[in-house]
Amino acid sequence: MMLQNSYKSKTVLVTGHTGFKGAWLTAWLKHLGAKVVGIAFDPPTEPSHFIAARLGFGMVDHRIDIRNQSELEEAILSAQPDFVFHLAAQALVRRSYESPLETWQTNVLGTLHVLEALRSLDKHCAAVIITSDKCYDNVEWVWGYRETDPMGGPDPYSASKGAAELAIRSHIKSFFSNGNKVHIASARAGNVIGGGDWAEHRIVPDCVKAWSSGDLVTLRNPYATRPWQHVLEPLSGYLSLAWALRDNPDLHGQSFNFGPQAQQNHSVLELVQEMAIHWPLVKWEDVSADNNGPYESGLLKLNCDKAMHYLKWHAVMDFKETVKMTAEWYKAYYQNASLISELSKAQIESYTALARLRGLEWAK
């Protein structure tokens, strides 16, 4: 299966297309020749990859709140998509403490609104509903969570993502069986880094915003470990899953993890130190002793054997390659933001070429 020819001239609907992962997915789909229809709020940050790369041109760009069921359903049915990628969400753990109702409404009811619209779609369509690695009941054990492990989460964000997974499973079993034309799967990934993320309270955006102004960056949890992966890694998984889902009914109702190699767990401090190699003369400060912020998990890993078995998918880049590509994007942005569209395309092409070199079937 080659992604290069899979999505050309297909109508692909992306919710959350103005956000971090959504903008990269939109850029990739446009590069593949897809007809992209987006549903989202205005870009959630300033700066914004979506705006800097002028991604709104050459696509249908809806600004709709996914909590508005009637507007969302009208847009989805009007698009008549061949593929759907649902990424729109309230995606920040710390913000979920500040706005728990918004988080639950967006992440659970918003997902149900997408599923309800798909119930009315009378054509063949493959839909990938993206939740999060934080949907799992994280007891911080040292091995990776499998797709069959319990859902949960101590904070509103994580709990809402676990609840969204339960809602997806229920809706599929209740309304999308018996030969339904719409095939649905959920995808779980987390700790994604890469150019174009300026969200609050994330370590890479915190670093580049501070360093680009010559300021000191503060580290709240420098020894928390994460399975860091470049944003293009899970997106290649989502694209592979959607295409396989279209042709393989056995994947309908399944869930898939997308993460880096099992050994690729590094601390926040290690990530900052690796970033600093590509962004010299920078400083940071450990403020963990004074951190009175809300609970954040210290360890969370995913087992991705299922994606490897069914989709022949695994991550492409190692930790150093991931950080290098991320740092190069931000450095280029702060040097000349007008070139970001071409740089993003070039990074997609470089990533695909590396995947091809390392034997990934989707890149052949």
Q: For residues 64 and 39, what is the distance between their CA atoms, to the nearest angstrom?
A: 6
pLDDT higher than threshold 90 for residue 141: no
pLDDT band at residue 289 using 50, 70 and 90 as cut-offs: low
Q: What percentage of residues in the chain have a pLDDT greater than 90?
A: 78
Q: Collapse the DSSP code of 14 into the 3-class scheme (helix H, G, I; strand E, B; otherwise coil) and give the result.
A: strand
Extract the runs of DSSP E, i.e. beta strands, from 64-220: 83-86, 125-130, 182-188, 192-193, 217-219
Count the domains in the chain.
1
* 143: number of Cβ within 10 Å: 8
Full-model pTM:
0.95
Contact in structure between 252 and 185 (CB atoms under 8 Å): yes
Mean pLDDT of all residues in 188-206 = 92
pLDDT higher than threshold 80 for residue 57: yes
Q: What is the structure's pLDDT at 241?
A: 97
pLDDT higher than threshold 70 for residue 213: yes
Mean pLDDT of all residues in 309-322 = 96
pLDDT band at residue 281 using 50, 70 and 90 as cut-offs: confident
More confidently predicted of 51 and 200: 51
pLDDT higher than threshold 60 for residue 295: no
pLDDT higher than threshold 80 for residue 245: yes
For the chain, give the number of residues.
Answer: 364
pLDDT band at residue 179 using 50, 70 and 90 as cut-offs: confident
Contact in structure between 139 and 80 (CB atoms under 8 Å): no
Q: What is the structure's pLDDT at 282?
A: 80
Q: What is the structure's pLDDT at 3?
A: 83
Mean pLDDT of all residues in 70-84 = 98
Q: What is the pLDDT of residues 16-42, one digit of tens each?
A: 999 999 999 999 999 999 999 999 999
Mean pLDDT of all residues in 324-336 = 96
Supply the range of the domain harboring residue 347: 3-363
b/e string for 291-313 if b means 16 or more Cβ within 10 A? eeeeeebeebbbbbebbeebbeb
Q: What is the structure's pLDDT at 161?
A: 96
Contact in structure between 251 and 295 (CB atoms under 8 Å): no
b/e string for 241-273 if b means 16 or more Cβ within 10 A? bbbbbbeeeebbbbbbbbbbeeebbbbbbbbbe
pLDDT higher than threshold 70 for residue 293: no
pLDDT band at residue 264 using 50, 70 and 90 as cut-offs: confident
- Of the listed ranges 166-170, 207-211, 315-319, the one predicted with least confidence: 207-211
pLDDT band at residue 291 using 50, 70 and 90 as cut-offs: low
pLDDT band at residue 191 using 50, 70 and 90 as cut-offs: confident
Contact in structure between 109 and 67 (CB atoms under 8 Å): yes
Q: What is the pLDDT of residues 346-359, one digit of tens each?
A: 999 999 999 999 99
Q: What is the structure's pLDDT at 294?
A: 66
More confidently predicted of 345 and 137: 345
Domain of 256, CATH number, reads 3.40.50.720
- Which residues pair with residue 183 across a beta bridge? 126
* Mean of all residue pLDDT scores within the chain: 93
List Cβ neighbours of 361 (8 Å cut-off, separation of 6 or more): 1, 312
